[in-house]
Every structure is written in C-alpha cells, then in structure tokens.
Amino acid sequence: MSDLILLALDESSTLQLISRAFRAVGYKTVSAHDKASVDKLMQESHPALVLLGGQLQGEKSTGLIDSLLLKYPTLPIVYLSTENSVELIQEVLQKGVSGYLHPPLKTDEIISTVESSLKRAKRLGDWVRKEVKHTTASLEKRVSEMEVLLTIGRDVTSSLDLDGVLKNVVSAAVSLTKSEEGSLLLLDEESNELYMRAGHNFEEGFVRSFRLPVTDTLAGQVIETGKPIILNKDSLEKIQTAYLVQALIYVPLKYKDRVIGVLGVDNRKHRLPFTERDVLVISLLADYAAVAIENARLYEASENERSKFEAVLSNMDDALIILDKEERIQLINDVMREALNVKPVEDVFNKAIRDIITHDDFLSLLERKNENLRYHEVHLDSDRVFSAQYTPIKGVGAAITMQDISYLKELNRLKDDFVHTVSHDLRSPLTAVLGYAELLERVGTLNDQQKEFIRRIQSSVEDITSLINDLLDLGRIEAGFDSRREPIHIESILEYSLGNLEASALEKKQSLEADISAELSLLRGNPIRLRQMFDNLISNAIKYTPESQKIDLKLHQEGTQIIFKISDQGPGIPPEDQPHIFEKFYRASNVVADAPGSGLGLAIVKTIVESHNGRIWVESKVGMGSTFFVVLPT
C-alpha cells in the first residue's frame, strides 16, 4: 500500500502542482487548509508524512509543528517555507521537522526530500517496534515469574499440605530457571546427611534413596557457609558419585539464621549457563520453602500439644466444662457429658450453656458463682451426687469441675444408719442397767461407798443415754420424721427453756439477761424441737462461760423474720473451728479436756433450724465470747 501524504497548504496553483506530482510517482495525498482539518485528517487517515506550508490561512504555521509532534513524535514533517531565512530554518529544525524546503520550489526536490524523510521515519519505526517487542517479552517473562512466585507464596501461607507445597517450590525453581532438574535437600542432623525431601524430574526411587554427606560436597558447603553456589562449567562437575552436571545453583534454606537444607537446580545435558537473577529467584523460593517447613513443624507441635491436652482432659476422672466469658461452652469432657446427659455426638461448641444444660442444681451453681462457694452439691436424677467447683479463669472465662461423691454420700448414709441402729439397740439394755442400779438400794442395805459407786454408775449411764437420745433425735429430724408443725408463740418456748436452765446458771453465779420483744408473730414450727434448740444454745453458753459472768439473750422480729441472738463471755471459738462446730461430734480445739459434751448439740440445733427453713451462724473471737444468731421465718 502506498504512503499517504497530508498536504497542509493554502489553496493555490502550487498545491495543485505538488499534488499531481506526488500522485504521478505513486503517493496518495489529502489536503487540509486550516489547523482543525489538519487535526481531523491526522486522526482519520493516519498519513505517513505531513507537508506543511509556511502559512495557513495567512498565519504562520510553526505553532502547528509543536502540536503535531507533541501528539505524534515520530511523524515526519517537511516544512515548505515561503521565504529563505536562516532564522526560520533554525527555528523549524529545532522544533524537529525532518525536511526544509524554500523557494524557488521544484517538484523533484520536494519529492526527493519527502522520500528521504519517509525512509528515515521508517527506519526509526522499525527500530522502535523491535525495542518494544524485546522489552515486552522480558516484561512478560518477569510478570509470569512474579505470578509463579505469588502463587507459591499464597500456597505457603494457606496450605497445610507440606509435600504438595515443596513439590510446587521445586518445580517452580526448575521452570523459572529453565533447568533440567531440581531438588530440595534437608539436613538430617543425627546422621549429618542430606536427604531429598522433594524432587523434580527425578525418579521416585532415586528421590527416596538419595543421601548426601555434608562434608566434602557442594550441597554440604552451602549448609556450612549459608551462602549460595552458582556453577557454570565448561567441563562436567561431579556432585555425587557418578553424578555429573554442567551447571548448577544451590541456595541455602534458612530459618532464623539456621540452615536447614538446600534448594538446587542443575543442567546435566545442555550447556545453558545460569545467571545471578536465577540465583535470586531460587533464593526467594528457598525462603518460601523454609517458611512452609517451619509452619508445618509449628503446626504439628501445636497440634500435638493440643491433642495431648485434650487427651488429659477427656481421660481425667473429674467432670470438666470450660466456658467463655459469655458462658458459651468451649470444652466439655466425656465425664461431664455423661453426668449431665449431653450426647457424645452432640456438637455443643460455642453454644450457651443454659441452652444445653437444664439441670437445676447445676445451673444454681452458675447463679451463685459470685458467692465464692467452696462446695456445691449437684444431685443428679440417677441418684448420683457430685461436688462441683466454679473457678474463674482470667482471659478465658471459667471452668467448672465436678467429682462424683456418691460413694461418700452412701458411706455417710451407712454410717448414720449404723449409728442409729446401734443407738436404738443400746437404749433398752441401758434402761435395764439404770433400773437395776436403782433396785439395788431397795433389796438390802448398802454402805456409803457402795451408794457412791451406784451414783456414779447412774450418772454415767445417764450420760450415755442422753448421747443416745441425741443421736436418735438427730437421725429422726434428718430423716424428716418429725415434720409436725403447729402455730406457736416462740417467746413462750424461750421463756420455758430459760426457766428450766436458770438453776444451772445460778449454780455458776451467772446472770441470764433476756430481752424478749412483746410483738412477735406466730410461727409455724415443732415446739419440742424448738425448745431443744433453745436448750442446747443456752446450756452451751452456761457451760462455756466462766462463773459470775453475764449471758445476754435477745428475741425480736424484723419483717417476716424472728431473730434470736445469744451472747456469752466465754472463751470464744477459734476462726479455723468456726466452719465445723455445726458438724456432728466436732468440738473446737480450745475446749478444755474434761468439759462435758459429745459435740452433737450444735449439729442438732442446725438440723432443727434448717428443718424450719431458718439459718444459723456464729460470730466469735477467742477470749471475747461468742454470739450465736438464729433467723426463723414467721
């Protein structure tokens, strides 16, 4: 196709002449007579050259040179001057026109100038195209290199398949460096040998059996120095017995300054030398491989720890559940599942505990968690009893552990049964002993010593009988046998009890001072048991308070609660004994050895109070006396 010439000239006979001359030698022409049509034709017809007249519509056209070359830098422009001026030639040449003609204008001169400009422009165009092609090719190569590296990088961070990742690293190393083989060697620290963890273009068997000593080998050198090796030989280089290569790159696999292996590529057949850039690419891949290996190691280590931890938790005998701060289940072991009837297959992770477990005793532990409870019993429907603890865990939430104490409960029940039976069976023979001791005096005269012995027998038997009665009472109240309730005036019961015990207080020259409110509500209760409660508390106060001291009693009402308070000036109760004094047979450590009593009195009191839905507690300081409080609902 012939070139198109744009004639940017004013309409004139010269234009006709030039246009004809060009056509005669085989060029096509288009004409424009002003700037706007020049621009339009440039865009529409893509002329190969512009022949620009010195004037367009009476104006200088030098400005147009600038705007044309700004848009089309390789466009040849031949300038057709109207005058022969050195300044003008200089100006337009500086602007970058490729030819300059001045009057008198001859058509052959114009044509030859145009032709040589076109030739030069073509050469320039060819060169530019070649350069662009070259640059594009190398850019494309870089881009595809980057893409491969990016994919591997993504692989390393997202895949847990170490074999796959390492295989990909080695094959990328081979393809990016256009080499024949690639291998990833890892150091076996025990044997100080390198083995092949992944290979490309090697036979499976070769990969598996590959072993290379660290000493005196190229790969070993990389391990020892931590520096890459690049080898481009004219002769063959032996890297292993009977293994020769022409070119090779080995780079270290480093993790935190520790060399753990070597990544290498080599050429055995072809003499394709490697470049420093290849070393760079392989080093990058080696970094990826090292990270992948370390990630896998860390993952395995943490998985091991986790499964060990899980095994410990699920195999422990205690039931365990771990909750987060929002009381969602984070972990539950098999014992807890079994205890609380959560199916082994049910996925309860992250579910709200109250949605999964509906057991009242268990949930009340959650309600009372802020009370710093040490013991909390959970009674399951299956007659099993657990002792549960709630432990807040900073940063996690809380752990609830439970131990099966059913067997302890059962033992306790057996003990109570035993004590009850024995007490019961002892009562009749003791009554007989007492009866016959009384009869002795009636069947014959006894001397004073004999009388004294009989008195001692009677007193001892009375002690044992009262102990047995206490035990039987306790058993009866605990078993809920005396649930009889009637409306009572609690103040009369207290007064009755006081009347009975006044004599013992007098004996010790103690004063009993009672402050009994006149406006007390009726209370539903068991009068005999409540009397027993007052008796025990008051007689304790008398018993433990030294002679000539004062005992204060107060009975009043607050709202729907009757409050009884008894304060003495006795020895007090050591703080470590206070939590236990309401247990059966428990006596505080400061009780004098011969003080009468069996440690059952307060246990009976507590059982009575609780069977009336009340509460009892003590406040006491050693040497400062004790105050017992009883609160009963009206």
Q: Applying CB under 6 A, which residues contact ligand ADP?
A: 536, 540-541, 544, 568, 570-571, 573, 581, 586-588, 591, 597-603, 626
The dihedrals phi and psi of 359, each to the nearest 5 degrees, come to -70, 120
Distance of CA 440 to the CA centre of its chain: 84
Q: Which is nearer to ligand ADP, 267 or 536 (CB)?
A: 536
CB 386 → ligand ADP: shortest distance, Å? 29
- CA dist 148 and 153 (Å) reads 9
CB 541 → ligand ADP: shortest distance, Å? 5
Which residue's CB comes closest to ligand ADP?
597
Q: Which is nearer to ligand ADP, 384 or 587 (CB)?
A: 587
- Which residues make beta-bridge pairs with 59? 56
Q: Can you list the pairs that 494-499 forms with residues at least 24 positions away whose Cβ atoms lie under 8 Å?
A: 494/534, 494/553, 494/555, 494/564, 496/531, 497/531, 497/534, 497/535, 497/538, 498/534, 498/538, 498/553
Q: Which is nearer to ligand ADP, 332 or 581 (CB)?
A: 581
Cβ atoms of residues 265 and 181 within 8 Å: yes
- CA dist 533 and 544 (Å) reads 17
Q: Write out the DSSP string of 117-171.
A: HHHHHHHHHHHHHHHHHHHHHHHHHHHHHHHHHHHHHHHHHH---HHHHHHHHHH
The dihedrals phi and psi of 55, each to the nearest 5 degrees, come to -130, 140
Q: Which is nearer to ligand ADP, 397 or 574 (CB)?
A: 574
Q: Which is nearer to ligand ADP, 75 or 541 (CB)?
A: 541
Q: Which is nearer to ligand ADP, 259 or 467 (CB)?
A: 467
CB 570 → ligand ADP: shortest distance, Å? 4
CB 420 → ligand ADP: shortest distance, Å? 18
CB 479 → ligand ADP: shortest distance, Å? 20
CB 546 → ligand ADP: shortest distance, Å? 11
- CA dist 578 and 574 (Å) reads 6
Q: Which is nearer to ligand ADP, 38 or 609 (CB)?
A: 609
- Strands (E) located in 241-362: 243-255, 258-267, 319-324, 329-332
Q: Which is nearer to ligand ADP, 270 or 415 (CB)?
A: 415
Burial class (CB in 10 A: 0-12, 13-18, 19+), 600: buried
Q: DSSP 3-state assignment of 83?
A: coil
Q: Which is nearer to ligand ADP, 99 or 601 (CB)?
A: 601
CB 566 → ligand ADP: shortest distance, Å? 8
CB 562 → ligand ADP: shortest distance, Å? 21
CB 367 → ligand ADP: shortest distance, Å? 32
- CA dist 568 and 189 (Å) reads 79
Rounded to a whole number of angstroms, the CA Rg of the chain reads: 55
